[in-house]
């Protein structure tokens, strides 16, 4: 398994070689198609290497942006969340990669303090970890000896002679029976004496009004067991709330005078590369602003939140929130044919 896969155009081989050597000097294992084995097809090797690498560095240039291979490799890396983008000079990555951050290394000559190289180095550390970390872990796993599991000690065998010599319980049962008979007999005598005027009983018990046997046999009141405490019901975990919004119901249209209300609606998003048509949470705010969160997967890539900031009558700014914290803003205007839709250059968003 390699750490870093390099995707580039042959026209930029000199600059890419400098980048590959610098990454290797940091301690990472780098693969690029200069090492393509002659017995395998190009597509087979590329797919295998991108999948096994921890990070894929794409070097965009005018020729790389026109290369179907570079775009395919970048798309594989983006789908696997391992894409690191660089650019040689003043060039914007092609759609849809222009919506992801990239590092400009056009004027970089290998210096450590270059801004573009520092960005690449930070992304490599985040995706690949400490250089040499995977090799160290593999060696440690190979050399570690497994800890043997101790066998359970066998139970000692019972001695048949000892088992046969256990004392019999019949004498105990016999003693209990005799004691019970004696108590019944004493009770009969006592009742007979009481029937004859009680004088014999009074002499036997010293004039006490309560028979001693009855007092001894009176059961003690049983302690009342405290009822088990019923477990307190666990409060249900609330669903995470939408972020604070200042958001597109018609301006001044709510009885609550603009307070945000979240509800489930249908949302539609489309640009030149992606289309979303599904459910979303819609939170309306003052002045026609709103915030939405998609419910049937992301709107596109890792985007799940799109909002609108109304700037004037029929005009606003559509705000697209990326997972990494980046916000893309595009000027839009309300559609003349569908009042629930907002349109901008090569994109549209509707909430119904």
Q: How distant is the alpha carbon of residue 149 from its chain centre?
A: 34
User: Which of helix, strand or coil describes residue 157?
Assistant: coil
Q: What is the pLDDT of residues 217-260, one digit of tens each?
A: 444 444 444 444 444 445 555 544 444 443 343 333 333 433 44
* Of residues 39, 37, 33, 38, the one with CA closest to residue 56: 33
Binning pLDDT at 50, 70 and 90, where does residue 206 land? very low
What are the boundaries of each domain within the chain?
Answer: 4-136, 261-351
Q: Is the dihedral of CA 333, 339, 342, 343 positive or negative?
A: negative
Cα-only R_g, the chain: 42
DSSP string, 185-201: HHHHHHHHHHHTTSHHH
pLDDT of the residue at 18: 92
The pairing of strands 4-7 and 30-31 is parallel
The pairing of strands 4-7 and 305-312 is unpaired
Binning pLDDT at 50, 70 and 90, where does residue 171 land? low
Give me 341's structure tokens: 């839709």
Binning pLDDT at 50, 70 and 90, where does residue 38 land? low
Q: What CATH number labels 4-136?
A: 3.40.50.10140
Q: Is the dihedral of CA 197, 201, 205, 210 positive or negative?
A: negative
pLDDT for residue 303 is more than 70: yes
**Dmax over Cα atoms in the chain, in whole Å?**
131
Enter the pTM of the model: 0.40
Q: What is the pLDDT of residues 275-291, one digit of tens each?
A: 899 999 999 888 889 99
**Higher per-residue pLDDT: 259 or 137:** 137
pLDDT for residue 70 is more than 50: yes
């Amino acid at each position: 398994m390699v750490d870093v896969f390099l995707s580039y155009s042959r026209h930029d081989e000199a600059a890419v070689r400098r980048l590959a050597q610098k990454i290797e000097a940091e301690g990472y294992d780098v693969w690029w198609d200069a090492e393509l084995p002659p017995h395998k097809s190009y597509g087979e090797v590329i797919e295998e290497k991108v999948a096994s690498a921890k990070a894929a560095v794409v070097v965009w240039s005018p020729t790389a942006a026109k290369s179907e291979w570079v775009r395919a490799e970048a798309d594989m890396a983006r789908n696997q969340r391992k894409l690191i983008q660089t650019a040689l000079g003043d060039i914007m990555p092609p759609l849809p990669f222009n919506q992801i951050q990239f590092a400009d290394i056009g004027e970089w000559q290998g210096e450590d303090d270059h801004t573009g190289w520092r960005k690449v180095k930070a992304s490599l550390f985040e995706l690949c970890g400490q250089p040499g970390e995977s090799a160290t872990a593999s060696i440690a796993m190979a050399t570690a000896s497994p800890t043997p599991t101790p066998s359970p000690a066998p139970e000692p065998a019972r001695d048949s002679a000892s088992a046969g010599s256990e004392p019999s319980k019949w004498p105990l049962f016999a003693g209990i029976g005799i004691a019970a008979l004696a108590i019944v007999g004493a009770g009969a005598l006592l009742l007979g004496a009481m029937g004859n005027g009680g004088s014999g009983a009074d002499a036997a018990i010293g004039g006490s009004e309560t028979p001693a046997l009855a007092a001894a046999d009176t059961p003690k009141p049983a302690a009342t067991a405290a009822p088990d405490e019923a477990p307190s019901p666990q409060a249900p975990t609330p669903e995470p709330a939408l972020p604070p919004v200042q958001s597109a119901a018609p301006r001044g249209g709510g009885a609550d005078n603009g307070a945000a209300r979240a509800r489930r609606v249908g949302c539609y998003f489309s640009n030149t590369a992606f289309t979303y048509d599904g459910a979303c949470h819609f939170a309306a705010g003052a002045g026609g602003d709103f915030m939405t969160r998609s419910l049937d997967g992301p709107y596109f890539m890792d985007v799940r939140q799109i909002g609108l900031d109304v700037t004037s009558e029929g005009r606003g700014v559509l705000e697209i929130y990326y997972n990494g914290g980046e916000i893309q803003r595009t000027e839009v205007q309300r559609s003349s044919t569908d009042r629930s839709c907002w349109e901008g250059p090569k994109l549209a968003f509707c909430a119904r």
